[in-house]
């Protein structure tokens, strides 16, 4: 595959040209030249953009993603970094699960008002203390 100009990369990747320029400014991708006023990119930029999109979807910052590329643009992803992000996602899932379960309970609670519901009161206390994450369950498979 030959080089692609910025418009073609934007079309193929679904990434706006302005974002491509921003990624280049941040050192996430590198153009290889110009055709007129348009930047040119090597075919490998498509894989780089896919990795950037995956990293963003997983919650990595642009700085963390930038560190996942060697100076030549090839991936150099540290496994310990992936494990740490997976652990972060596990914590987020537990927190979101607790929020979902609390909302579902509040929606069907038979108490006359939410403020009279013991479960809702417990959630309020936890939220007020910044601890609205359920404990990790152990021994349940």
Crossing angle for the helix pair 6-13 and 45-58, nearest 10 degrees?
50
Distances (CA, A) of 130 to 7, 30, 115, 134: 46, 42, 19, 12
The CATH number of the structural domain formed by 4-66 is 1.10.1660.10
Its pTM stands at 0.72
pLDDT over 90 at 79, yes or no: yes
- In this prediction, residue 10 has a pLDDT band, given cuts at 50, 70 and 90, of very high
Q: What is the pLDDT of residues 11-59, one digit of tens each?
A: 999 999 999 999 999 989 999 999 888 899 999 999 999 999 999 999 9
Q: What is the pLDDT of residues 94-124, one digit of tens each?
A: 988 988 888 888 888 898 888 888 888 888 8
pLDDT over 80 at 132, yes or no: no
How many CB atoms neighbour CB 48 within 10 A? 22
- In this prediction, residue 140 has a pLDDT band, given cuts at 50, 70 and 90, of very low
pLDDT value for 135? 45
In three state form, how does the secondary structure of 66-109 look? HCCECCCCCECCCHHHHHHHHHHHHHHHHHHHHHHHHHHHHHHC
- In this prediction, residue 1 has a pLDDT band, given cuts at 50, 70 and 90, of low
Domain ranges of the chain: 4-66, 79-128
């Amino acid at each position: 595959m030959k080089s692609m100009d910025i418009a073609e990369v934007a079309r193929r990747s679904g990434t706006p040209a302005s974002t491509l320029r921003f990624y280049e400014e941040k050192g996430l991708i590198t153009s290889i030249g110009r055709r007129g006023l348009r930047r040119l990119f090597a075919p490998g930029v498509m894989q780089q953009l896919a990795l950037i999109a995956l990293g963003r979807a997983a919650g990595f910052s642009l700085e963390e993603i930038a560190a996942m590329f060697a100076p030549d643009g090839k991936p150099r992803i540290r496994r310990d970094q992936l494990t740490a992000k997976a652990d972060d996602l596990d914590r987020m899932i537990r927190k979101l699960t607790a929020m979902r379960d609390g909302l579902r309970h509040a929606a069907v609670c038979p108490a006359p008002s939410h403020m009279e519901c013991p479960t809702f009161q417990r959630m309020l206390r936890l939220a007020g203390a910044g601890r609205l994450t359920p404990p990790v369950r152990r021994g349940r498979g």
